């Protein structure tokens, strides 16, 4: 009988905790860099902030990739894979251009604009805009760093002849979009899909190897049931209906969704 692997396995839980811990350290460092942005000298200070943020993202992305490789190796060993050894290729950190573009989006409301062209967010006091920019930058940096770890596992699945698929593991408090994708199980084959994530997304990638069968955790099975019962019959409106159904029927709804 094939061995079972799940999105709620002990190893997956340890890996998720490690990545969440890494994200917390990242947020701490991002907060510390906010002092580099000088409201009275945006044109001169923002480039320095971007350079510092790039260095931080690169550093944490490499650590994220290393954690992911260690997790993949542990899962491969637990699966009892035999044959030639496999070295997990570490995904590269995001290129500077991608980091800069994401961070410029996060700080776009800081720049002065004529009142008739400004959005409500851009008309807020500068201190409010700085706080919002910092929150966006934290989310952007977290996604870029965690994506590097997720890409490491996905890349290993694509290159490892003993791997057959990967599954998405969503946190209990994940958004409706993530819970929907996680409820599909190990339907993601080696070359069929990229990992769709959003800022502050803590979903993980679970590799599945030959001789294993993937089993949804009780939580993911509940999400699957809710989807089939309340959203699947409505192809044009599935995500909205799924979100509403989760708020009413999920035992782990998002805070404030009820």
Confidence of residue 191 (pLDDT cuts 50, 70, 90): low
Least confident segment among 15-19, 41-45, 95-99, 196-200: 196-200
Distance of alpha carbon 193 from alpha carbon 186, whole angstroms: 12
Confidence band (pLDDT; 50, 70, 90) for 9?
confident
Q: Output the CA angle 223-167-80, nearest 5 degrees.
A: 130
Q: Are 88 and 71 in contact (CB under 8 A)?
A: no
Burial 184-197 (b: 16+ CB within 10 A, else e): ebbebeeeeeebeb
Q: Residue 103: is it exposed, middle or buried by C-beta count within 10 angstroms (0-12/13-18/19+)?
A: buried
Residue 229 CB neighbours (<10 A): 11
pLDDT digits (tens, 9 = 90+) for 51-99: 999 999 999 999 999 999 999 999 999 999 988 899 999 999 999 999 9
Per the CB < 8 A criterion, the answer to whether 212 and 2 are in contact is yes
The fraction of the chain above a pLDDT of 70, given in percent, is 95
Q: Burial, 236: exposed, middle or buried (Cβ in 10 Å; 0-12, 13-18, 19+)?
A: exposed
Cβ–Cβ < 8 Å for 53, 107: no
Residue 169 has pLDDT above 50, yes or no: yes
Query: Whole-angstrom Cα distance, residue 258 to residue 249?
Result: 10
* Residues 223, 174 contacting (CB under 8 angstroms): no
pLDDT tens by residue, 135-160: 999 999 999 999 999 999 999 999 99
Burial of 108 (0-12, 13-18, 19+ CB in 10 A): middle
Alpha carbons 24 and 200: distance in angstroms, whole number: 11
Burial readout 51-80 (b: 16 or more C-beta within 10 A, e: otherwise): eebbebbbebbbbbbebbbebbeebbeebe
Arithmetic mean of pLDDT, 28-37 = 96
Q: Is residue 118 within 8 Å of 10, Cβ to Cβ?
A: no
Identify the band that residue 173 occupies on the pLDDT scale cut at 50, 70 and 90.
Answer: confident
Contact criterion met (CB below 8 Å) for 132 and 109: yes
Q: What is the largest CA-CA distance in the chain?
A: 68
Q: What is the pTM of this model?
A: 0.90
**pLDDT tens figures, 218-253:** 999 999 999 999 999 999 999 999 999 999 998 766
CA distance 55 to 81: 37
């Amino acid at each position: 009988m094939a061995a079972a692997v799940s999105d709620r396995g002990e190893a997956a839980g340890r890996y998720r905790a490690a990545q969440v811990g890494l994200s917390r350290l990242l947020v701490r460092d991002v907060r510390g860099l906010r002092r580099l942005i000088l409201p009275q000298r945006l044109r001169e200070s923002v480039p320095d902030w971007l350079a510092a943020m790039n260095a931080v993202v690169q550093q944490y992305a490499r650590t994220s990739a290393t954690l992911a490789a260690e997790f993949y190796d542990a899962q491969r060993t637990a699966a009892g894979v035999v044959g030639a050894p496999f070295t997990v290729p570490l995904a590269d950190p995001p290129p500077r251009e991608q980091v800069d573009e994401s961070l410029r989006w996060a700080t776009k409301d800081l720049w002065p604009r004529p009142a008739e062209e400004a959005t409500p967010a851009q008309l807020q006091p500068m201190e409010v805009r700085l706080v919002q920019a910092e929150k966006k930058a934290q989310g952007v940096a977290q996604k870029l760093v965690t994506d590097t770890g997720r890409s490491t596992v996905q890349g290993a699945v694509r290159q490892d002849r003993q791997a057959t698929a990967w599954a998405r593991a969503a946190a209990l408090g994940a958004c409706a979009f993530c819970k929907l994708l996680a409820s599909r199980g190990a339907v993601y084959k080696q070359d069929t899909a990229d990992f769709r994530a959003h800022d502050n997304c803590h979903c993980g990638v679970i590799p599945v190897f030959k001789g294993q069968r993937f089993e949804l955790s009780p939580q993911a099975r509940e999400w699957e049931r809710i989807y089939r019962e309340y959203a699947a019959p409505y192809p044009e409106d599935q995500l909205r209906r799924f979100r509403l159904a989760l708020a009413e029927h999920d035992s782990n709804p998002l805070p404030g969704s009820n």
